[in-house]
Every structure is written in structure tokens, then in C-alpha cells.
């Protein structure tokens, strides 16, 4: 057995200061001002150990096994080296350092004179289901004896240390001395120690090796004020029993607690939802403070939500598999494809069933998409809304997945092996969501060499090559024909906005707000066009040319002194006003060197200096504020992609077939739809979460002019 030498606590005040020898690598931490003024201290200067001396740490690599190195000593961080503990934990622990409240002890572990680890023990969790059931005490007993528990709130092995078995050895040594240290400082012995391990980062190996016991998981909520708020970060709970007779001393018996996940068919109690705030640009989704009662209600709400799509399934088993897939996309599981979802929620026996459910089981995902649109329209449809088209890519390895090829990938920002889909979204002052999509099939997939792959991936026989603008036009036509989503605008990015055929094919009555590339050319004044004067040689001119005037790129326009910049507040976001510099002017786009009909050129320069350009065919008398508002309506579809990939596994699928890709995306639509319902249920402005804020799209002007430049 590995042994640890535990020494008594010494202040180490005085003594020679460590110095750097030849060849040593030393890190020296410094702060700007001393904690205690030299003028007010009563100790002679020679007896003081300065903070700079305390924080002088040898950070050269330390490797090996515990039994080959000098003995490990563990000491309480006294006043002289507590600042060293604070600084090392603040800089190297993933949670950083926060001042510990209530009773607390800090420890440093040394090998020789070198610090190798830092630990802290502080007040335990006030309420913890798995721990309270493990102990078996009542509420009144917990109130009386809670001080007999300490929480291992920090444990850090320093990054320059790579010593096998060190962590478990330090834990064992520290826990061995903790009861008497706790009693010496606070007048009572510790009976049990608890700790929380984030399974997304750690496996708890060192705790198990040090004979700690895993007793279950937290619920995923934390105390805020007088109540508990659900944050969704579930952690594993480990305990170490110091006093084996603790139940006898308390007068209680252990209660059964089923901390293992139950088999999940149609029960919803164990469903864990990811509802955590995420930063995004240009605004931040406000945090939804959910109580434990709220979260329990969400499980029932999710089942009720999925039941609205029951008509799409041919069998009850399909409904059960679909609910599991939707729950998996909304869970905090690290992987969100069919196999891990089945293993997590249904069991190993259901892996093949869920894969076949997504690939070839007979149920109507097109009807599910139509039902989704009908229900979403009831919530967010508005006459002032915008239909947006955009593409989204997912990096994929291999060559067998349907539609995969080397092509430009927005996710990677370069040409990459990926799949690409064309999506239609909708946004209004009431909310936003994705409506429809289709996988883009590169032209190479329609060659004879790919015939077997098309068959294996169940590509429809009538599927023919279409460019992305053609797919977008077809999807838009289907949505508009459904008459579910009234709209004033159609929005798109530069890959679609640079295609004049696509823009001119849009239905009458809709104005477009289309992104363009910075090299697009425009005329600031209508040029004179005509046939050049015949000079007496060669054939007579027949092709009109520019006789007077010149075009410029929109980038050159933005840099010119003629650009009429205005500083505006585009919207009120969750973190305050969203400011930008905006220029808007009538121009004549250059097509094949000649001017076309006049359009609006909209230029927006963000606070970070990024400039984006757009054309709009809105009427000549449209207000500046309306164009600014239209520019904000383009943001939500990008936010849908960000939310989809960050929260609900939009790009984590491992399906290879055509039906499975589209079915996965429909379930992503449903997951985002459910999250929208949550925002509305908890009385959050859904659009404020995504883009602008209530002021921007609540009937007031979308832009407030705060100055001209």
C-alpha cells in the first residue's frame, strides 16, 4: 500500500527564502499591492515572508510514481501560504477561485518543498436528494447534524505534476487528518465528506481509488436566493464516511434511492432537459430561471407536445421511439445520434430499432413537418414577418453518407468533406423557427459511379441535380403556397443574394433583403447608356455601353467619403443596446457591366469593424427605420443554426441515408419549437432571446438614430 507522511501544521514564517538555482525553472506570481501595510506591521522585516516569496513556485515538470519520490506531506494552508493556494487555484482550476463561505479549510500537498496539489473543504450542500436518502435523516435531523458533513469543494493537481497514483494518495492523506483539523478549528468532528464530480470532464477515478463511494447524481439545480433554479449541469456525488456509526449517532436508517436511470418507455419523470443560457451574437438569450417544480412540469409538457404529432406514426412503438429521440436531442447527453440516445434512454436492445426508425420505418415525417408548421404558425405568424433561406453544413468523414463531398463548409470556413442542406426559416416580432429543408446533392452524386451509393442511401429515384438557389426557390414556393406564414420580406445571405435569377423568381408582393459580396459593383448615379458613335471603321456598334459614369464595388462605396453613415441603435438586446453604423442609399447594380433597376444598398458596420452589405428591392419611399428592422429579421435563422448545433445535436447525427437525414432535421425543428414554447411559457420575449429585444420588434421603430458620421 502506498503510504503518506502527514506532518503537523507549521506556519513556516521566517527561515531562508527559496532562490532559483542554476537550471531551475521558477514561476513567480506577483500582485500589485501588499495585503498588510509595512508601516503598520509590528513584526520586524527580517521575520516577514513576503507574498512574492510565498508565491515563488518551482514549476518544472515532476514525473514518476509515488513510491519513487520523497514522501508526500499535507498541510493546512496557513496565513503565510493561503495566498499561494488562492493564486494557484485561481489560475489552474477550471472553476477558478471564489471566496469560500462558512466553515472552511484549505490544504496544500508537498513533495519535498514543492507544492503538488491543493484542496479545500467547506460547508456542505443544504439539500441533496441522493445524500439525504443515503444518510436517511429527517429534515429536523439534517438541520441538527448538517455541520458534521464537509464538502470537498476544490481538488487540483498542478499542471506540471504527472505522478502516478498521486491524486488518490493525496485524497487519502487529507481525509485522514481532516476530522481532527476540523475539530481543532470549528469545535466538532466531521462524520462524512461529500464532493461533486462533473462527468463531462472527469471519471472520478481518483475518488474511487481513495475508497470514496459513488451514491448517485445531482438533480441539476442550484440555490438562488430562497429557492432552487434548474441549470441542467448534472454532477456525480461521492461520499467518504469518516465515522462508521454516523447513522446510530443521528438515529436514522438509510432510505432506498434509485439513482440509476430507469428504463424509459413512456415515463417522463427521469427526462433531463438542457435549458441553459448561451451567449450568442448579436444578443444573449436571457437565462430562464426554472425551479425544480418547473422542470418536473416540463417532462409532462414534452410528452404532451410530442403527442400533437401522433397522427404521423403508424404504430405506438414509433411514438415511443420518436419521443425518446426528441428527449435525447433535448437532454444534456454529450452525444446526440441514434445509438447513444437509445443507450441512454431506452437500453441496448433498442439501438437497432431507433436506427431503423430514423432510416426506414414507415411513418410520415413530411406530415410531421407540416404539423410543425401549422402549430408554429399559430404562435409566430405575422404580416410583417420575414421568410429566410440559408444553407448549413456539417463536417463528415468518409464517403458513404448521402450527399457528402468536398465543398465549401460554413461550419469549417473552408472547403471540407461535408454535407450541406438548404433551410427555410421564419421570423417575426413574435418569435422564430425553422420550417423546411432539403439536403443538397452535389452533381457528382448523379454520375454512374455513384449509382450504388444512391441506392444504398435510399435517395429517391426522381431526385435530380439542383443548385442551392433552385432548391431554395422550391422550398419557398411550398411554404408560401401553404399560406401558413404571411410575410413582407424574404431574406437570404450572399450565396443566394448574388444570384439574380433567384431574386427575380421570388413572388410579387414580397420585398427581398439579400446579402451580397463585397466585390459586387454598383453605380451611385444612373449612368448614360447608349451605342458608341460609329468611327467609320468596322461594323456599326450594336451593343449598348456605358457612355458616361463608372461603377464601384460596394466595399469602395463603404470606404468613400460619400457614404452617408449614421450611428444607430438597431435594437435593445439582453445585454443592452445593439449599436452599429448604417448607411443606406439608392444605387443601380451593375449586371454585365450595365446598370439594372435601382435598389437599396444597405451597409452595416458592427462594433468590431465587420461590414456586411445587402440589396433590397423595397419601394423607394420606404423609411430608414423599416430597412433597419428588416436587417434584424435576418439574424434569427443564423441563431436557429447556432442553437441547433449547440443545444439539440443538429450536426451530431450519424445517419447515412436520405430519409434519416431529413427525419433528423425535422426532429431538430421540433426541439427548437419546444424551446420556443418554453420561452413563451416563462414569459420571456422569444425574439429578444434571438436578436433584438422587445423594443426592436414590438411595434416601435427598429432603429434609433444617435448621430451621423
Q: Express each pLDDT in 562-579 by its tens digit.
A: 899 998 888 766 566 778
Residue 705: what pLDDT? Answer: 58
When pLDDT is averaged across residues 534-547 and rounded to a whole number, the result is: 79
CA dist list (Å): 167 to 76, 173, 182: 17, 10, 21
Local confidence band at 228 (pLDDT 50, 70, 90 cut-offs) = low
- Note the pLDDT tens digit of each residue in 482-495: 999 999 999 999 99
Residue 24: what pLDDT? Answer: 31
When pLDDT is averaged across residues 346-355 and rounded to a whole number, the result is: 90
Determine which of 119-133, 183-197, 264-278, 283-297 has the lowest per-residue pLDDT on average: 264-278
Nearest CA-CA partner of 273 in 328, 216, 218: 328
What secondary structure, in 3-state letters, does 35-60 show?
Answer: CCCCCCCCCCHHHCCCHHHHCEEECC
Local confidence band at 21 (pLDDT 50, 70, 90 cut-offs) = very low
Tally of CB atoms within 10 A around 258? 9
d(CA 647, CA 276): 9
Superfamily of domain 26-250: Gcn5-related N-acetyltransferase (GNAT) (3.40.630.30)
Local confidence band at 382 (pLDDT 50, 70, 90 cut-offs) = very high
- Cell matching residue 324: 425518446
Local confidence band at 263 (pLDDT 50, 70, 90 cut-offs) = very low
- Cell matching residue 534: 460609329
Q: Cell 451567449 belongs to which residue? A: 279
Local confidence band at 683 (pLDDT 50, 70, 90 cut-offs) = low
Is residue 634 classed exposed, middle or buried when 0-12, 13-18 and 19+ CB atoms within 10 A define those classes? buried
Residue 145: pLDDT over 80: yes
Q: What SS3 state is found at 128?
A: coil
Contacts of residue 682, Cβ cutoff 8 Å, sequence gap at least 6: 288, 290, 294
Local confidence band at 506 (pLDDT 50, 70, 90 cut-offs) = very high
More confident residue, 293 or 508: 508
Q: What percent of the chain has pLDDT over 70?
A: 79
Residue 132: pLDDT over 50: yes
Residue 599: what pLDDT? Answer: 95
More confident residue, 129 or 298: 129
Nearest CA-CA partner of 114 in 160, 177, 82: 160
Residue 269: what pLDDT? Answer: 36
pLDDT, averaged across the chain: 80
Residue 553: pLDDT over 50: yes
Instruction: Specify the long-range contacts of residues 365-368, CB closer than 8 Å, at least 24 apart.
Output: 365/312, 365/659, 365/662, 365/663, 365/666, 367/311, 367/312, 368/309, 368/312, 368/666, 368/670
Residue 292: what pLDDT? Answer: 63
Local confidence band at 232 (pLDDT 50, 70, 90 cut-offs) = low
Residue 11: what pLDDT? Answer: 31
Residue 662: what pLDDT? Answer: 96
Residue 241: pLDDT over 80: yes
Nearest CA-CA partner of 206 in 232, 178, 234, 173: 173
- Note the pLDDT tens digit of each residue in 146-195: 999 999 999 999 999 999 889 999 999 999 999 999 999 999 999 999 99
Q: What percent of the chain has pLDDT over 90?
A: 49
Residue 281: what pLDDT? Answer: 24
Local confidence band at 19 (pLDDT 50, 70, 90 cut-offs) = very low
Residue 287: pLDDT over 80: no
When pLDDT is averaged across residues 191-213 and rounded to a whole number, the result is: 91
Sequence ranges of the chain with CATH classification 3.40.630.30: 26-250
Backbone dihedral angles phi then psi of residue 269, each to the nearest 5 degrees: -60, -35
Residue 300: what pLDDT? Answer: 77
Local confidence band at 696 (pLDDT 50, 70, 90 cut-offs) = very low
Residue 45: what pLDDT? Answer: 37
When pLDDT is averaged across residues 659-683 and rounded to a whole number, the result is: 89
- Cell matching residue 515: 446579402
Amino acid at each position: 500500500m502506498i503510504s503518506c507522511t502527514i506532518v503537523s501544521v507549521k506556519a513556516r514564517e521566517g527561515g531562508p527564502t527559496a532562490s532559483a538555482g542554476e537550471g531551475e525553472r521558477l514561476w513567480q506570481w506577483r500582485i500589485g499591492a501588499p495585503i498588510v501595510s509595512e508601516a503598520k506591521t509590528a513584526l520586524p522585516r527580517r521575520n516577514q515572508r513576503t507574498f512574492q516569496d510565498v508565491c515563488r513556485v518551482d514549476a518544472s515538470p515532476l514525473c514518476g510514481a509515488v513510491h519513487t519520490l520523497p514522501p508526500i506531506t499535507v498541510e493546512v494552508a496557513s496565513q503565510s501560504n493561503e495566498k499561494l493556494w488562492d493564486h494557484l487555484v485561481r489560475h489552474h482550476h477550471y472553476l477558478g477561485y471564489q471566496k469560500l463561505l462558512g466553515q472552511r479549510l484549505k490544504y496544500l500537498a508537498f513533495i519535498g518543498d514543492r507544492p503538488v496539489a491543493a484542496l479545500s473543504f467547506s460547508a456542505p450542500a443544504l439539500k441533496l436528494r441522493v445524500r439525504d436518502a443515503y444518510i436517511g435523516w429527517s429534515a429536523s435531523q439534517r438541520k441538527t447534524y448538517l455541520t458534521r458533513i464537509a464538502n470537498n469543494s476544490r481538488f487540483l493537481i498542478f499542471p506540471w505534476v504527472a505522478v502516478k497514483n498521486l491524486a488518490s494518495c493525496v485524497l487519502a492523506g487529507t481525509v485522514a487528518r481532516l476530522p481532527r483539523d476540523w475539530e481543532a478549528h470549528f469545535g466538532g468532528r466531521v462524520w462524512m465528506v461529500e464532493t461533486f464530480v462533473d462527468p463531462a470532464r472527469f471519471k472520478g477515478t481518483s475518488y474511487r481509488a481513495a475508497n470514496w463511494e459513488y451514491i448517485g447524481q445531482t438533480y441539476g439545480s442550484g440555490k438562488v436566493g430562497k429557492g432552487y433554479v434548474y441549470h441542467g449541469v448534472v454532477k456525480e456525488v461521492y461520499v467518504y464516511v469518516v465515522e462508521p456509526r454516523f447513522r446510530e449517532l443521528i438515529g436514522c436508517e438509510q432510505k432506498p434511492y434509485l439513482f440509476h436511470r430507469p428504463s424509459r418507455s413512456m415515463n417522463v419523470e427521469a427526462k433531463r432537459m438542457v435549458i441553459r443560457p448561451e451567449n450568442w451574437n448579436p444578443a444573449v438569450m436571457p437565462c430562464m430561471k426554472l425551479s425544480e417544480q418547473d422542470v418536473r412540469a416540463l417532462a409532462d409538457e414534452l410528452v404532451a407536445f410530442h403527442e400533437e404529432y401522433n397522427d404521423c406514426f403508424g404504430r405506438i412503438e414509433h411514438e415511443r421511439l420518436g419521443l425518446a429521440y426528441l428527449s435525447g436531442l433535448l437532454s444534456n447527453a454529450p452525444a446526440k445520434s441514434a445509438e447513444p440516445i437509445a443507450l441512454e434512454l431506452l437500453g441496448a436492445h433498442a439501438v437497432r430499432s431507433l436506427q431503423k426508425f430514423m432510416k426506414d420505418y414507415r411513418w410520415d415525417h413530411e406530415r410531421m413537418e407540416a404539423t410543425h408548421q401549422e402549430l408554429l404558425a399559430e404562435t409566430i405568424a405575422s404580416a410583417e414577418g420575414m421568410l429566410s433561406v440559408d444553407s448549413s453544413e456539417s463536417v463528415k468523414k468518409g464517403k458513404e453518407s448521402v450527399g457528402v463531398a468536398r465543398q465549401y463548409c460554413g461550419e469549417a470556413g473552408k472547403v471540407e468533406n461535408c454535407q450541406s442542406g438548404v433551410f427555410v426559416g421564419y421570423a417575426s416580432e413574435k418569435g422564430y423557427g425553422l420550417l423546411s429543408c432539403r439536403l443538397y446533392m452535389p452533381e457528382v452524386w448523379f454520375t454512374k459511379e455513384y449509382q450504388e451509393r444512391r441506392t444504398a442511401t435510399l435517395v429517391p429515384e426522381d431526385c435530380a441535380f439542383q443548385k442551392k438557389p433552385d432548391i431554395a426557390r422550391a422550398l419557398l414556393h411550398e411554404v408560401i403556397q401553404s399560406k401558413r406564414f404571411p410575410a413582407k420580406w424574404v431574406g437570404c445571405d450572399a450565396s443566394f443574394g448574388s444570384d439574380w435569377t433567384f431574386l427575380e423568381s421570388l413572388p410579387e408582393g414580397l420585398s427581398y433583403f439579400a446579402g451580397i459580396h463585397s466585390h459586387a459593383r454598383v453605380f451611385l448615379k444612373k449612368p448614360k447608356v447608349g451605342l458608341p458613335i460609329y468611327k467609320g471603321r468596322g461594323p456599326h456598334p450594336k451593343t449598348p455601353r456605358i457612355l458616361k459614369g463608372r461603377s464601384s464595388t460596394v466595399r469602395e462605396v463603404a470606404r468613400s467619403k460619400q457614404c452617408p453613415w449614421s450611428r444607430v441603435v438597431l435594437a435593445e438586446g439582453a445585454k443592452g443596446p445593439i449599436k452599429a453604423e448604417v448607411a443606406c442609399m439608392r444605387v443601380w447594380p451593375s449586371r454585365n457591366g450595365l446598370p439594372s433597376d435601382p435598389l437599396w444598398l444597405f451597409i452595416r458596420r458592427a462594433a468590431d469593424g465587420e461590414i456586411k452589405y445587402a440589396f433590397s428591392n423595397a419601394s423607394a419611399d420606404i423609411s430608414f427605420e423599416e430597412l433597419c428592422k428588416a436587417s434584424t429579421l435576418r439574424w434569427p435563422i443564423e441563431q436557429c443554426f447556432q442553437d441547433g448545433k449547440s443545444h439539440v445535436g443538429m450536426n451530431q447525427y450519424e445517419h447515412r441515408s436520405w430519409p434519416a437525414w431529413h427525419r433528423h432535421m425535422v426532429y431538430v425543428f421540433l426541439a427548437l419549437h419546444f424551446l420556443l414554447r418554453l420561452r413563451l411559457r416563462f414569459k420571456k420575449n422569444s425574439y429578444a432571446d434571438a436578436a433584438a429585444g422587445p423594443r426592436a420588434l414590438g411595434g416601435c421603430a427598429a432603429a434609433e438614430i444617435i448621430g451621423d458620421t
